[in-house]
Amino acid sequence: MSMPHDNLLNRELGLLEFNRRVMAQAEEEYLPILERLKYLCIVSSNMDEFYEVRVAWLKDAAQNTPERILADGSTPAEALAKVSAAAHDLVREQYRLLREEIFPALRADNIIFLRRNEWDAAQKAWISDYFFRELMPILTPIGLDPSHPFPRLLNKSLNFIVELEGADAFGRESGIAIVQAPRILPRVIKLPAELAADGADTFVFLSSILHSHVQELFPGMLVKGCYQFRVTRDSDLSVDDDDVKNLRTALQGELRQRQYGDAVRLEIADTCPAHMEEFLLNTFALQKHDVFRVDGPVNLVRLMQVPDFVDRPETKFAPFQASLPDILEKKTPLFDAIRKGDMLLHHPFQTFQPVIDLLTQAASDPAVVAIKMTVYRTGTDSVLMESLIAAARAGKQVTVVVELMARFDEEANISWATRLEDAGAHVVYGVFGYKIHAKMLLVVRREEGQLRRYVHLGTGNYHPRTARLYTDFGLMTCNEEIATDVNDLFVQITGLGRAGELKHLYQSPFTLHNMITTAIDREIEHAQAGKPAQIIAKMNALLEPQVIRALYRASQAGVKITLIVRGVCALRPGVEGLSENISVRSIVGRFLEHTRVFYFYNDKAENLFISSADWMGRNFFRRIETCVPILDTKLKRRVIREGLKVYLEDNTNAWEMQQDGSYRRRVARGKGRCAQDILLQEYTG
């Protein structure tokens, strides 16, 4: 049974809608101004990845499989046209917001970005000295001629195209030069306090400094114009499984080429003349709809560093101290605490420290004999990885499943894999063709002559920094049946053999998809029998057509379905005769909503799961994922309230999805309720 295309929404347009919701945070005047700036930077970061991956895929499909029909019924070329128009609208609004609201609000708070026409004599002198001292020695202008072809430009690097007149010392008259800004250079420079008026934090852009001194790079020639630009390239990696003998070696070769993939987007200064734009488009084999003219810096992501240079608490979110579970507040040793009962951690409201402690204590505990862990994203500086290395050096049996294909974390993971192997750990790269996205940690400890296993299963990565920025659940348990399931999964990943039956856990690519669709069908049966039937699910994305089809059937049977989907959702809610019993909301706030929680009423049984998987085809069929039931009654009530109900009551950061895929901000009637603020207050005071 195929689904009518008009019942599915376009994935890429859904991602752009999510970025509109993020950008709306930058418009909120009640938020601290530097946090508003950060939201604008996050939009730029998201758009970079959107073009590097999703638009690059669409372009490839439009060229190589133009007759292909996408899930929403459009061809790749049709989708690309819609996406381009929506992306241009979003970026225009982003830069308008920066110019007309964010910069003026920053200035009102004494955080000033000086334009060149605002520099006074003392500032000009300091900036000139900075140029000759810090920039001039490392800049390499490239004059274009037969001996100097257009240089290979790194993905997303800042560059300048310079229009020249006259002949140089060798008689060359190319008329065009390229100046690349090395990545080691900061994109915003803070002026010394003595050059700032009234104690303001004062910044100038690197592009402004170079614009004002570009003539110095071309002595004896006339600079007719200097225009910043930035090219975005296809950055998705692919490794041919027919030729791979060592995934790490093959991936290292691919990584070297990532920075020079096919161009997919060109950002240029809005002052750039048409003939220079045309020259760049021809150089990068791009079309008119691929160019974004911007009135401002071509890379807003680099403004993310500005808050680090400003010591003004009132311009940022108030800091908070994440709490510990009560049993750990009482100084109960960690292994003893886990033995007393399952422990639930709700980040960032509760600290990630117990997870760090579990690993660091295991590394030095003589009673611990083995540690097994999956690594997807952990960062370049990780106490968790250092603990694994220490454990291996101490002679413990350490097995680490490192996902080398974690997008944009490949280099960090390759580095960790190398260090772990050097320390004596067993390092495997999962199962070729399937990403390891499960979050599992297993510690084996000898206690009173017997081996006991301690487990952590989570919805988020083993990354202490993002644990303070993302909402996630983590379960710590020594339940022997769950521990056996986790150990069986590690054996399945590292060894060879058929997948065995697990007692409690569900996994992709084998049982998770079937469990979800079976649970939905069970709710349909209850509804048809006249019993109450309800589904509540929270996730980052909902795209998988079979699950959407099952949810539509459930809605038609009378099942009440409430979905909390932070990002892209291909399901159409509220359509009469199709999905009138389905509502979809998105929460965008201070923290990135990252928890995956699935609730099925099941005739009062209230089956509840936390998972590493979204409801997407890749998570169900092309990744190794875990989904664990919450068995403890007290913890189940906590997850239902903290992970679901409080978000359904949010009338401050909630957006309600419409039938056409657009969203409307939920307007508070009476007292405002913000889920994240409520949880912050409860856990951090």
Give catalytic residue positions.
437
Cβ pair 304, 40 in contact under 8 A: no
The span from the CA of 185 to the CA of 225, in Å, is 22
Residue type, 151: P
Residue type, 491: V
**Backbone dihedral angles phi then psi of residue 71, each to the nearest 5 degrees:** -60, -30
The span from the CA of 67 to the CA of 78, in Å, is 11
**Cα-based torsion angle of the residue sequence 419, 420, 424, 429 in order, rounded to the nearest 10 degrees:** -120
At 332, list the tokens. 């109960």
3-state SS class at 380: coil
In sequence order, the 6+-apart residues with CB closer than 8 A to the CB of 563 are: 536, 537, 538, 539, 542, 569, 571, 573, 582, 583, 584, 585
Task: Classify strands 343-347 and 470-477 as parallel, antiparallel or unpaired.
Answer: antiparallel
The span from the CA of 7 to the CA of 12, in Å, is 16
Q: How many CB atoms lie within 10 A of CB 19?
A: 22
User: DSSP letter string over 460-516?
Assistant: S-S-TTGGGTEEEEEEEE--HHHHHHHHHHHHHHHS-SPPPPPSS-EEETTTHHHHH
Cβ pair 674, 589 in contact under 8 A: yes
